[in-house]
Amino acid sequence: MSAPALKRTARKGERLEARVSPEAKELCKRAANMQGRTLTDFVVNSVVEAATRTVREGEFVALTLRDRKAFVEALLNPAAPNTQLQNAMRRHDQLVSDQ
């Protein structure tokens, strides 16, 4: 679910608390003010965006790993040629041997 979709569908009822340094809080306040948002809105949206990105990257890595394993498995243990491939090989052999 994307960050904007999450914002529209989420009920405001859960609390999330964090202790930060005064410098970190001031920096977040400045950034929120620059965007015309409240500190809470800025922090929540930033966290949701970061979490969404992290989850997507993790899912991509998992897919990539699975795909690599499937590719290596296909190289190490190829499937037997089916009838269509056998026919294509015969046609190729005929064309190449006629030259």
Per-residue pLDDT of the chain (99 residues; tens, 9 = 90+): 455 555 555 567 888 999 999 999 999 999 999 999 999 999 999 999 999 999 999 988 888 888 999 999 999 999 999 999 999 999 999 999 866
Q: Which two tokens stand for residue 36?
A: 């015309």
User: What's residue 42's pLDDT?
Assistant: 97
What is the C-alpha separation between 74 and 26, in angstroms, rounded?
55
The pLDDT assigned to 11 comes to 65
Helix, strand, coil content of the chain in percent (nearest 5) = 75, 0, 25
One-letter amino acid for residue 37 of the chain: R
State the Cα–Cα distance between residues 41 and 34, nearest whole angstrom: 13
What's 25's DSSP letter? H
Q: Say which residues have a Cβ less than 8 Å from residue 81's Cβ, sequence separation at least 6.
A: 89
Per-residue confidence (pLDDT) for residue 13, from 0 to 100: 84
